[in-house]
A and B are shown apart, each in its own frame.
Chain A
Amino acid sequence: MTTATGPITEYRSWAVEEYRAEEEPYYVPVSDEVEVFEAAWNNKIPVLLKGPTGCGKTRFVEYMAYHLNRPLAVVRDGRAEVESESNLPLVTVACHEDLTASDLVGRYLLEGNETVWIDGPLTRAVKAGAICYLDEVVEARKDTTVLIHPLTDHRRILPVEKKSQLLQARDGFLLVISFNPGYQSALKDLKQSTRQRFVAVEFDYPPRETEAEIVQHEAECSPEVALNLAKMAEKIRNLREHGLAEGASTRLLIYAGRMIAAGVSPRRACQVSIVWPLTDDGEVQRSIEEVVSSIFED
């Protein structure tokens, strides 16, 4: 149960490249992904994260950004200032199908009679030496690969076409992309020439006990509820590709856990935070609800 006197998050804003996790993000390693990522970062090898939605890819990147130490440079008024900070900034871009290269690099905007250049998030990450995380990269338009390729091999260069510039990435810059092989159609697969520039870390939902631990921690619910949720998720995931496009994600479990912790009855909480978000197919909904009702008593 949460109390009303909890800390209230104030409005805050960061420059794109200044954002960094302040508290340690909660992440439970499932296997050696932390070591792999660290080694890749040390060697400036870009990383590709594969895995279903809501299994912790973004959280993992945050976690790594927090833990990888380096002095931070902030670009202010065109000049880089070095500040001593302990963790890496993180630039996250959620890709969509109309995301173009200039959305990432930057563009000229007309303001009154002036033309102003605005750096895009990728440019800022390159300049600041941040981790740039392109989420669901296959969704982006193909012209973005023009940018990704020179950045991800030995050159580590970002061409800024409109300004006729080439930017050399600062130390610490690392491109991380993610994609979910599950629901991509063949059309949207990553090209081999792109894929083969990354080391890949595969994610899947954590095993039952680990997942229960995560849910318990994140949702602040009882261990029994967490374990039951994890058990249920395992069952629901058995239905993947048999009526369900994706299994219930850890994220959804956490939502359900929070709802339960907030006093919603478990069956109802699972219905609103798992069954209904997962699918619109009535038959499949009922099947999952039967699984839910088998596991939760009320």
Chain B
Amino acid sequence: MTAQLVEEAREGLRQFPPALAQEFESALEAVQPILEPDELARWLRDGLEIARHSLRSWEASSEYFRASGPVLEQITYDRMREWCTVGIDLMETSPALSGALFRASPAVLPHLSVPQANDWASQGKSLYKGTWKSGSLSAQYFDVSPQILPHLPLSQMRLLVDLIDSLASHSYELASACLGMAPGVLSQLDRADRAPFLEFGGIVAHTAWVDARVYFERGPGALRQVGEEQRPRFLSLAGQVAMQVGRLGHPYFIESAQAMSEVDKDIHEGLLELAEQLAQHSGDAAMEFLKSSPRVALRLGIDDIARWQEFGLQILQQSRDGGEAFFRLESARGEEVMEALSSRVDLDRVSELIRMYCKALTGVDVGVKASEELTAKGVGWVDESSPTTEGTTIYLPENVERYPTKEENFSVYKVFATHQAGRLEFGSFEYQSRLDPSLFPSPQNGTQNGHGNGVAPAAVEGEEGEIHTDMELFFDQFEDRRLAHDLFTIVEDTRIDTIVKREYAGVRRAFSRLQQAAIDRRRPVEGMPARQAMVENLLRASLDEIGRIRWPNELAEEMRTPLRILNRIRNDGATVQDSAAATALLYEWLSQIPNVELDSEDWSDFEQEMSADPDGGEDSDMMPGSGSSGLEESFMPFMPGSEERPYDSPDPVDFRGDFKPELVQLLMKLKGETGTGDAPPIPLTKEQLQELLEKSVEISINELMDMDLAESSGMFLDNLLKEVNQIQGERQEGQQAMGDDSTGADDGEELPVEAASFYYDEWDFRAADYKPRWCRVQEQRGESGTSNYYTETLHEHTQLVQETRKQFEMLRPEMFRKMKRLTDGEDYDLDAVIEWYTEKIAGATSETKLFYRRNKVERDVAVAFLLDVSASTDEEIQKHHDQRQDDQFDDDPRKYLSWWAQRRAEAARHPGKRIIDLEKEATVLLIEALETIGDKYGVYGFSGYGRDNVEFFVYKDMDEPFGDRIKERIDKIAPVRSTRMGPAIRHCIWKLQNTDAKVKILMLLSDGRPQDHGYGRDRTEKEYAIHDTKMALTEARREGMVPFALTVDRAGHDYLKQMCQDMAYEVVADIESLPRRLPALYRRLTG
């Protein structure tokens, strides 16, 4: 019976392509042994039924047969039947889907129970919308299911399907691509993250479907940057935000995840909690908060971040824009709060303070800069984090964050600075080989029978043409330069620290604290070879820590003398000469100590009778007692291997920083700043430098640059010479500038001046707060042309010049104001006297205030003119002319041609005037007038593009005397780029602040509204720029200046009214009257 059924089935299949029959045969082979006859019959029937269902359903049937074998291996036929019903039902929808389902079945079965099949299939079915594209998407669903289901329980499959469905409504290609990526994406994610990932994906698909592919590609990677535990939370936050902000949701997700990767994972939870609080008010704020977190976390701990966030939240509740700017770190308040909460002290905030402090201590003009700046010069210093000095500037680390409070961290800076200033104040770099020490025997006598002192310094100095620094000569005496340098550093630092502590009792506490910290960080002495251990012990002793000296008991005597030498440098009156002498003595001792491992059980704390006779003993005691042999002998018992070990310098002490006396002396010498002062800078050949370089232990080439020796030393020399030349150049320039001022002589081209940068805040009216350090103003001198322009303009306007000059001269008598009715004064006031006399005769008692006095009212005016030199000033002002000339034409067509030709010719002869030309003319006239009354004035122009490039041209600075140079620069005033008024005004305010005058006027001359790239949300937004400009003008007023805006833009009323409100402004309707109008206005302002 079975066979008959099979035959019938074979018969039935014949009408279909042979491929189906083949599938049938191989399936039959597999299922026949498993199935009961009646089961087989049903199986056959099902197959046939499927095949016969519709035109292409044979393909599904073929999948059915193929899947049967593997499926039946996993489940019973009854279960399979149940399973297949789902597929058969799907036939109604689409045979292709049904086929896909059968195809996937064997692989899916392990992950799904049979009852779940329905659910699984219906999800796939839901993707099918009756179109072929949706069909293939749906089929793809079944195809990838086996790969997805291991990662995603069916219950969560819904999320993916919804996501894909939602994408499909926009683009099937995208949906299909994402579906294809899904298995890979899901496998990258942790189990717990998968559902949230898809949930957020669903939101992205809704709000910003185009981002979905990127999300699938980059999402898992981005997510991995967030702390493991926090990922679901982060995703749900991102989702919540995306619902609010729409398209921005996904970029926010990527960027904030990126930001979080830069923050310690431990605080991710805290950050997310804070962000969630913010998200309730503004999604933008929440994400900006996360994005800013690396910069914030750099300065604040999580508790302080919470406080910071709380502050921002309050602002956020009052003003969304304000709060968002706060968290974007674009608000001055945000910075302030952070600064107040942070315990870190940044150098750039205190550098001016420290500079003045150091100047006060040393009495010389020292600079204070970040150590990085010195290392960047490549002249020998390599450590970016330690304080140091090269003789003229004190270099300090960029920030200090060692202690929990600002005060403590600042005190660290103070100790750093005081020590470096001490080197300058107490002459660490002033060693002179000719001078004798005061506390020690002269080294020439002391070391005569000693070691390696064949070079008598004075003798070498005598050689002509050779230049050596005294320090170099000093170190030349010693065979082991490194040891000598280390010893000198220890001794000199001891001397400086001692003097500093004696002179500046107030820093003692902070000093001791750092010393303590430094000593706690030191490596143990035990185990160091003998000489090194001794140096280490000396260094410890130099940190005032006698108790921390560890030394074998048996050799106590050998340690005592070096310590005594070191201690003597603490005496009052010690100079760098004494340090040198002490170094020589110590070198004597230490060079005889073999640098071998000490085998002693008896390392113990060393006790020195400090109080008892610290300076006692004869000088001769400080010499190695009975010659070198004695010392070495005493070490003999403790030297097991007696193998000489290489000597290593002791670890540096942080608060003392780098000490490079040899290099500093060299630099000073090269710069011509030797102690003698009048010595000219000495040219140094490369060879000489090379020699020094190879000799000195202060420069380690390997650290300096990562190159081969020859190349890097060449580089070093270049840097050094560059540094020296630069300083000499500056000095020459200074001299030249002075020469210009006094003589006015034009001795050649002006040196190109590099733009100096200034940073200014900008007002964000939405946030109602400043954006800190937002704009960079680059100040540069205006280019020079010829002075002809100036003279010609004066000629052209002879009449006007005379007029204005006369008017201005009339200003002067106003300098005296008569005060009448005084009891005493310069002379009788005739009216008062007559009145008094009349009354007296009439018998009335009357007033006796009969005098007048002229009180001097000094005219003390400073004015800054700020010219708008934006591109728009390039416009010609023809309109007026055209108008008038058109009017002149008398409508006779016959004459038109000749009239027109005439006009053209005229136009060619006189190219049309531009706004800038009138600005220039007005300036010339005003300068001419101002010179007659002697007011201080500056002429500036501004333009630029973007916030970091506001160009500020100086045509005449406040204190610059008027002369040909100024005339030449006025010639070259030319239109440039955009109009960012705010920063230019702020820079002008700064200029005026630095000018001494009773009345200060800031006159702004523009041709239109302020606008610039990024000056507002977009190019068309006007509000922002106007508000910022207004704020800048208000700042000027707050500083006691009189701001005045003048515009030639006839549409100017609308924005000037807003910009100036209660300040004076004027719109010059007839542009061409500007040269006449400006001086008149000025007179009115100051009169």
Task: Specify whether A and B are partners.
Answer: yes
Q: For the complex, would chain A's binding face be called helix, strand, loop or mixed by DSSP majority?
A: helix
CA distance in complex: A280, B352 (Å): 16
Q: In the complex the two chains form, is B363's CB within 8 Å of A238's CB?
A: yes
Indicate the member of A100, A185, A290, A293 with the most B CB atoms within 10 Å: A290
Indicate the member of B356, B361, B418 with the most A CB atoms within 10 Å: B356
| Interface: B414 (CB within 8 A) | yes
* Chain A residues closer than 8 Å to B506, beta-carbon distance: 267, 292-297
| Interface: B362 (CB within 8 A) | yes
Known contacts A292-B506, A295-B505: does B356 contact A287 (CB below 8 Å)? yes
B307-361 interface (Cβ within 8 A of A): 352-354, 356-357, 359-361
| Interface: A231 (CB within 8 A) | yes
| Interface: A102 (CB within 8 A) | yes
Q: In the complex the two chains form, is B824's CB within 8 Å of A236's CB?
A: no
* Per-position 1/0 for A259-298, Cβ under 8 A of B: 0000000010000000000000001101110111111110
* Chain A residues closer than 8 Å to B507, beta-carbon distance: 293-294
CA distance in complex: A287, B421 (Å): 14
B361, B365, B826: which contacts A235 (Cβ < 8 A)? B361
A233 to chain B, nearest CB (A): 10
| Interface: B451 (CB within 8 A) | no
Q: Which residue of A lies closest to B364 (CB)?
A: A238
Q: In the complex the two chains form, is A286's CB within 8 Å of B360's CB?
A: no
Q: In the complex the two chains form, is A283's CB within 8 Å of B356's CB?
A: yes
| Interface: A1 (CB within 8 A) | no
| Interface: B792 (CB within 8 A) | no
User: 10 A-B Cβ contacts within 8 A?
Assistant: A100-B853, A235-B360, A242-B356, A288-B356, A290-B353, A294-B357, A294-B414, A294-B504, A295-B503, A295-B504
CA distance in complex: A293, B354 (Å): 13
* Per-position 1/0 for B546-573, Cβ under 8 A of A: 0000000000000000000000000000
| Interface: B508 (CB within 8 A) | yes
* Per-position 1/0 for B949-974, Cβ under 8 A of A: 00000000000000000000000000
Known contacts A231-B503, A296-B505, A297-B506: does B360 contact A239 (CB below 8 Å)? yes
* Chain B residues closer than 8 Å to A242, beta-carbon distance: 356, 359, 365
20 new A-B contacts at CB < 8 Å, known A235-B361, A295-B504: A113-B840, A235-B363, A238-B360, A243-B356, A283-B352, A283-B353, A283-B356, A284-B356, A287-B356, A287-B357, A290-B353, A290-B357, A291-B360, A291-B361, A293-B506, A293-B507, A294-B504, A294-B506, A295-B503, A295-B505
* Per-position 1/0 for B806-850, Cβ under 8 A of A: 000000000000000001101000000000000010000000101
* Chain A residues closer than 8 Å to B360, beta-carbon distance: 235-236, 238-239, 287-288, 291
* Chain B residues closer than 8 Å to A284, beta-carbon distance: 356
CA distance in complex: A243, B355 (Å): 11
B484 to chain A, nearest CB (A): 32
* Chain A residues closer than 8 Å to B42, beta-carbon distance: none
* Chain B residues closer than 8 Å to A8, beta-carbon distance: none
* Chain A residues closer than 8 Å to B840, beta-carbon distance: 113
A110 to chain B, nearest CB (A): 4
* Per-position 1/0 for A109-121, Cβ under 8 A of B: 1100100000000
| Interface: A149 (CB within 8 A) | no
| Interface: A170 (CB within 8 A) | no
* Chain A residues closer than 8 Å to B508, beta-carbon distance: 297
* Chain A residues closer than 8 Å to B359, beta-carbon distance: 238-239, 242
| Interface: A107 (CB within 8 A) | yes
CA distance in complex: A100, B819 (Å): 14
Q: Which residue of A lies closest to B848 (CB)?
A: A110
* Chain A residues closer than 8 Å to B356, beta-carbon distance: 239, 242-243, 283-284, 287-288
| Interface: B645 (CB within 8 A) | no
| Interface: B509 (CB within 8 A) | yes
* Chain A residues closer than 8 Å to B414, beta-carbon distance: 290, 294
CA distance in complex: A71, B504 (Å): 52
B6 to chain A, nearest CB (A): 103
Q: Which residue of B lies closest to A98 (CB)?
A: B855
A109, A185, A297: which contacts B505 (Cβ < 8 A)? A297
* Chain B residues closer than 8 Å to A296, beta-carbon distance: 505-506
* Chain A residues closer than 8 Å to B365, beta-carbon distance: 242
* Chain B residues closer than 8 Å to A109, beta-carbon distance: 823-824
* Per-position 1/0 for B482-514, Cβ under 8 A of A: 000000000000000000000111111100000
CA distance in complex: A267, B331 (Å): 36
A83-104 interface (Cβ within 8 A of B): 98, 100, 102
Q: In the complex the two chains form, is B505's CB within 8 Å of A238's CB?
A: no
A-B residue pairs, 7 tightest by C-beta: A287-B356, A238-B363, A294-B504, A110-B848, A235-B360, A294-B506, A293-B506
Q: In the complex the two chains form, is A238's CB within 8 Å of B357's CB?
A: no
A193-243 interface (Cβ within 8 A of B): 228, 231, 235-236, 238-239, 242-243
* Chain A residues closer than 8 Å to B850, beta-carbon distance: 110
* Chain A residues closer than 8 Å to B826, beta-carbon distance: 100
CA distance in complex: A25, B447 (Å): 57
CA distance in complex: A291, B826 (Å): 50
Q: Which residue of A lies closest to B505 (CB)?
A: A297
CA distance in complex: A235, B823 (Å): 49
CA distance in complex: A245, B354 (Å): 19
* Chain B residues closer than 8 Å to A235, beta-carbon distance: 360-361, 363
Q: In the complex the two chains form, is B357's CB within 8 Å of A291's CB?
A: yes
Q: Which residue of B lies closest to A292 (CB)?
A: B506
A106 to chain B, nearest CB (A): 10
Known contacts A238-B363, A291-B357, A297-B508: does B824 contact A102 (CB below 8 Å)? yes
A260 to chain B, nearest CB (A): 14
Indicate the member of B356, B360, B824 with the most A CB atoms within 10 Å: B360
Q: In the complex the two chains form, is B848's CB within 8 Å of A238's CB?
A: no
B147 to chain A, nearest CB (A): 67
A108 to chain B, nearest CB (A): 9
* Chain B residues closer than 8 Å to A243, beta-carbon distance: 356
CA distance in complex: A168, B852 (Å): 30
B908 to chain A, nearest CB (A): 52
B776 to chain A, nearest CB (A): 22
* Chain A residues closer than 8 Å to B503, beta-carbon distance: 231, 295
* Chain B residues closer than 8 Å to A287, beta-carbon distance: 353, 356-357, 360
CA distance in complex: A295, B853 (Å): 52
* Chain A residues closer than 8 Å to B996, beta-carbon distance: 185
* Chain B residues closer than 8 Å to A297, beta-carbon distance: 505-506, 508-509
B812 to chain A, nearest CB (A): 15
A115 to chain B, nearest CB (A): 10
Q: Which residue of B lies closest to A97 (CB)?
A: B856
CA distance in complex: A239, B365 (Å): 9
B254 to chain A, nearest CB (A): 43
* Chain B residues closer than 8 Å to A238, beta-carbon distance: 359-363
CA distance in complex: A236, B507 (Å): 17
CA distance in complex: A286, B356 (Å): 9
* Chain B residues closer than 8 Å to A291, beta-carbon distance: 357, 360-361
* Chain B residues closer than 8 Å to A228, beta-carbon distance: 505
B356 to chain A, nearest CB (A): 4
CA distance in complex: A286, B361 (Å): 14
Q: Which residue of A lies closest to B507 (CB)?
A: A294
CA distance in complex: A294, B506 (Å): 4
Q: Which residue of A lies closest to B500 (CB)?
A: A294
Q: Which residue of B lies closest to A102 (CB)?
A: B824
Q: Which residue of B lies closest to A290 (CB)?
A: B357
Q: In the complex the two chains form, is A107's CB within 8 Å of B418's CB?
A: no
CA distance in complex: A283, B360 (Å): 13
Q: Which residue of A lies closest to B350 (CB)?
A: A286
CA distance in complex: A291, B363 (Å): 12
* Chain A residues closer than 8 Å to B505, beta-carbon distance: 228, 295-297
* Chain B residues closer than 8 Å to A231, beta-carbon distance: 503
Q: Which residue of B lies closest to A112 (CB)?
A: B845
CA distance in complex: A159, B896 (Å): 85
* Chain A residues closer than 8 Å to B824, beta-carbon distance: 102, 107, 109
Q: In the complex the two chains form, is A286's CB within 8 Å of B363's CB?
A: no
B997 to chain A, nearest CB (A): 11
A95 to chain B, nearest CB (A): 15
A225 to chain B, nearest CB (A): 11
